[in-house]
Structure 1
Amino acid sequence: MVLIYVGDIIVTGNNTLLLKQFISQLNTKFALKDLGPLHFFFGIEVHRDESSLYLNQGKYVKELLSRTGMLHLKPCQTPMTTGKSQSKFDGEPLQNPTEYRSIIGGLQYLTHTRPDLSFAVNKLSLFLQAPTSAHWSAAKRVLRYLKGMINHGLHIKFANHLSLRGYLDSDWACYPDDRRSVAGYCVYLGDTLVSWSSKKQVVVSRSSTESEYRALAHVLAEISWITS
């Protein structure tokens, strides 16, 4: 398998000889620099042991906290508080919404290896157009959560079976401004999490059952795509 982004290339496979031949052939056409086993790629750190890969963005998290002046924050155990759902009318409008948008953009990139952030970041992304002081406080809580769990990430491990399993849930009419639902799912290949999502549904569901069926349709579509 070959993954290419601009000038950076990851080449992977289960035959070392073929990999070396492929890299040699590429080198005859293009000027290449072989950096050896993968350790770092676009902010994602890769660590190995005998049977597993670990992906995290610890360095990126530290840079994000430093850039936003949040390294001094006291960590918290959860990325969000429970209770009343946030509304676009909560709080006072921010005088400089650019900083809020920059932080949310940085958090969105973190969801590549941090599925635990998907729900919170998706919710905060809804207020990019006109963020308020309440939304800013919620964003800072996510950063406090990251402060205490900088090196968390994905564990890609060996499994004797490679069956696909999907899990889903929905929260009916949880958005107070438009009464839409949020649906989330995660898909496992063997024991490894390979796909996840948390997003607001595009239509208003008239019942919790309808909301659940829409969530089911989303995860089935994802599993069909992975299978193909």
Structure 2
Amino acid sequence: MPETSKPSIKPPTLGQVMKGIRGRHGWTLKEMSAASGIPVSTLSKVEHDRLTLSYDKLQQVSQRLNIRMADLFYEEPEDARPQVTGRRSIGTLETAARVTTENYDYHYLCTDLKQKRMIPILTRIRARSAKEFGELIRHQGEEFIYVLEGRVEIHTEFYDPVQLDEGQGLYIDSSMGHAYVVGEGCDEAVVLGICSSAEDGLMDSLLSLRH
């Protein structure tokens, strides 16, 4: 008889992850609020997937509960990790983990896979100049971005700024200072980025970036 494929399992949302953390501690919403510093009404909305948390709030929860920020994004459990190189994950905006900063809206895709060597990120860019962006950012590994919408101006530590239009991409060493801002004539831009590293901890490194 032909094999029947197993139904895909939808990864938990941030709300489900937060509810799981609260359940493991045996906390009420009020107790979770006291421990995390997040108002009860906000926690309730997050747990019911009616609200997400900003970068600052995620960082606050991480610090006050003494957990990694990456733990707030679902990763499949150790015993569920396949032992062969046949992993697969479908990335959608509905299942993406969203983090908002001053300059970007990040959507981390395929968060159900653990210990990835590549991190796919759909990013909406709002900063319109290098001055508005602030200090260049640096992190481990390398990255490639591809412009999906609008125009992007890329500032790097060792090169003159370059403009990329829709359908163009750029590959850089991520340890070199860099910043992506909206190009001339556009209000916003959307890019698909792939960050990679041979070292562990790439997700934590990305989430720790202020920008």
Give the TM-score of the pair, scaled to structure 2: 0.29
Indicate the structure (1 or 2) with the bigger Cα radius of gyration: 1
